[in-house]
C-alpha cells in the first residue's frame, strides 16, 4: 500500500530543488519575453504544456519523453487546426453545430487513439491533450500553427533538455557523494 506522506530523502529533495530552480528561471524568461513572443505569434502555453508533460511521463526514458512530446504536440496542434477545417466544411455542407462537432471529434480522436498502435511517438496522450486544448481556440491555432508548434518544440527541447542535463548532473554528483 502506498503511503500518502513519506519521509523525504535528501537526494530526492536536492534533485527536486535543482529542477525547481530551472523551472523558475524558465518562467521568468518566458514572462519577460511574453510580449515579443506574442508579437511573433508564439504563445507560451504550449511551452509550459510540453514541460509539464515531461514530468508526468516519469516512467519513460528521457529520449522517449522528448520524442513523444515533440511528435504528440505537433500532431495534436495540427489535428486542432484540421479539425476546425473539417467542422467548418461539415457546417458549410448543411450540418448543424452538434453533428459537425461530433464528427470532427470522433474522426480526430479515433485517429489519435487507434493510430497509437502504429505511431506511438505521434498518436499518444500528448497529442490528445494538445488537440483538446488547441480545439478551444482552433481558429487562432490554425492561423498561427507554426508558432504554436515552435513554442511546443522550444518548451520541449530547451526547458526539458536542460532539465535532463540538470537531473543527470545532480544524479552524478549524488553518486559521487558531492551533494
- % of residues, the chain, pLDDT over 90: 75
Residue 72 to residues 26, 62, 79, 142, 175, Cα–Cα distance (Å): 22, 15, 10, 17, 34
pLDDT, tens digit, 9 for 90 and up, residues 21-57 = 999 999 999 999 989 988 888 898 999 899 899 989 9
Question: d(Cα 71, Cα 80) in Å, to the nearest integer?
Answer: 14
Candidates 58, 49, 34; CA nearest to 80 is 49
Question: d(Cα 60, Cα 51) in Å, to the nearest integer?
Answer: 14
Question: d(Cα 102, Cα 167) in Å, to the nearest integer?
Answer: 43
Q: Return the pLDDT at 10.
A: 87
Residue 87: inside a domain, yes or no?
yes
Residue 48: inside a domain, yes or no?
no
Residue 19: inside a domain, yes or no?
no
Q: Return the pLDDT at 87.
A: 94
Q: Return the pLDDT at 179.
A: 65
Residue 89: inside a domain, yes or no?
yes
Residue 95: inside a domain, yes or no?
yes
Query: For residues 42 and 117, is the Cβ–Cβ distance under 8 A?
Result: no
How many helices (H) and strands (E) the chain has is answered by 8, 0
Q: Provide DSSP, 18-47.
A: HHHHHHHHHHHHHHHHHHHHHHTT--SHHH
Q: Domain tally for the chain?
A: 1
Structural domain containing residue 78: 64-167
Confidence of residue 1 (pLDDT cuts 50, 70, 90): low
Residue 41: inside a domain, yes or no?
no
- Taking each helix axis as running N to C, give the angle between helix 161-175 and helix 10-39, from 0 to 180 degrees, rounded to the nearest 10: 160
Amino acid at each position: 500500500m502506498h503511503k500518502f506522506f513519506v519521509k523525504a530523502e535528501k537526494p530526492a529533495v536536492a534533485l527536486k530543488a535543482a529542477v525547481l530552480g530551472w523551472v523558475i528561471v524558465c518562467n521568468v524568461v518566458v514572462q519577460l519575453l511574453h510580449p515579443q513572443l506574442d508579437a511573433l505569434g508564439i504563445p507560451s502555453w504550449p511551452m509550459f504544456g510540453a514541460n509539464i508533460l515531461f514530468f508526468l511521463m516519469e516512467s519513460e526514458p528521457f529520449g522517449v519523453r522528448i520524442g513523444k512530446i515533440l511528435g504528440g504536440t505537433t500532431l495534436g496542434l495540427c489535428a486542432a487546426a484540421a479539425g476546425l477545417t473539417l467542422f467548418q466544411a461539415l457546417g458549410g455542407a448543411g450540418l448543424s453545430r452538434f453533428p459537425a462537432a461530433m464528427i470532427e471529434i470522433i474522426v480526430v480522436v479515433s485517429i489519435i487513439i487507434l493510430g497509437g498502435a502504429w505511431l506511438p511517438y505521434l498518436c499518444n496522450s500528448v497529442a490528445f491533450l494538445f488537440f483538446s486544448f488547441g480545439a478551444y481556440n482552433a481558429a487562432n491555432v490554425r492561423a498561427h500553427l507554426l508558432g504554436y508548434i515552435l513554442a511546443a518544440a522550444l518548451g520541449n527541447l530547451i526547458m526539458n533538455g536542460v532539465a535532463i542535463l540538470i537531473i543527470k548532473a545532480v544524479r552524478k554528483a549524488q553518486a559521487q557523494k558531492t551533494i
